[in-house]
């Protein structure tokens, strides 16, 4: 089983997280930020990852530290669960519609942290969630998972729909990228021999 358990404590957040890459999409999420809980539930379901997250953070300030640190912990979990990455598909991509929104997501488990996030969100808030924190989450993730991630809005007028499409697409693209390809017979999917 490709599994990781991450416990991360700082002066700003205390996070306990478990991840099973070969799960059924079950999740138990409690970050203290309802919108983030919703997005992570969608990510787990569409990625077919079993995910538990418990975060106690300084939400009396705002959600910034919670969102960023959960991204960091989740990225670290993927990095750990993937091990040497032998036999994985490596790449995943999807164009995901959500009502009027259309978001393209592409992933390369490259060993190089890079994010290109072009969501152009029309509002600053979804409820009490600052929409700019979506990008903060993705930066925390890619820096700790060592992946390349492109997330681009192709269409959309509703910030909730755009972010929902991004997280659903991210889950499905990651599902494809971490999938074990039997034809690779355990090879590292790189001419360098390492990712």
What pLDDT is stored for residue 86 in this prediction?
Answer: 93
| Residue-wise pLDDT tens digits, 27-71 | 999 999 999 999 999 999 999 999 999 999 999 999 999 999 999
Per-domain boundaries in the chain: 3-184
Distance CA 165, CA 176 (A): 16
Find, among 14, 113, 30, the residue nearest to 6 by Cα: 14
What pLDDT is stored for residue 98 in this prediction?
Answer: 97
Find, among 5, 109, 8, the residue nearest to 50 by Cα: 5
| CATH architecture for segment(s) 3-184 | 2-Layer Sandwich (3.30)
The total number of residues shown for the chain amounts to 195
> Is the pLDDT assigned to residue 186 strictly greater than 90?
no
What pLDDT is stored for residue 92 in this prediction?
Answer: 98
- 166-192 as b/e: b if 16+ CB within 10 A: bbbbbbbbbbbbbbeeeeeeeebbeee
What pLDDT is stored for residue 26 in this prediction?
Answer: 98
69 in Cβ contact with 133 (< 8 Å): no
């Amino acid at each position: 089983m490709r599994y990781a358990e991450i416990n991360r404590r700082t002066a700003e957040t205390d996070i306990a997280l478990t991840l099973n890459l070969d799960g059924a999409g079950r999740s138990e999420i409690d970050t203290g930020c309802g919108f983030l809980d919703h997005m992570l539930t969608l990510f787990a379901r569409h990625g077919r990852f079993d995910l538990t997250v418990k975060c106690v953070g300084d939400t009396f300030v705002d959600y910034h530290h919670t969102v960023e640190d959960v991204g960091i912990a989740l990225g670290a979990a993927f990095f750990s669960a993937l091990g040497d990455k032998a036999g994985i598909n490596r790449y995943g991509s999807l164009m995901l519609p959500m009502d009027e929104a259309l978001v393209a997501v592409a992933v390369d488990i490259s060993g190089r942290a890079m994010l290109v996030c072009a969501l152009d969100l029309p509002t600053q808030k979804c409820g009490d969630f600052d929409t700019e924190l979506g990008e903060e989450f993705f930066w925390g993730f890619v820096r700790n998972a060592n992946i390349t991630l492109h997330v681009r809005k192709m269409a959309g007028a509703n910030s909730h729909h755009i972010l929902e499409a991004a997280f659903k697409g991210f889950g499905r693209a990651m599902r494809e990228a971490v999938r074990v390809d039997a034809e690779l017979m355990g090879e590292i999917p790189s001419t360098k021999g390492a990712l």
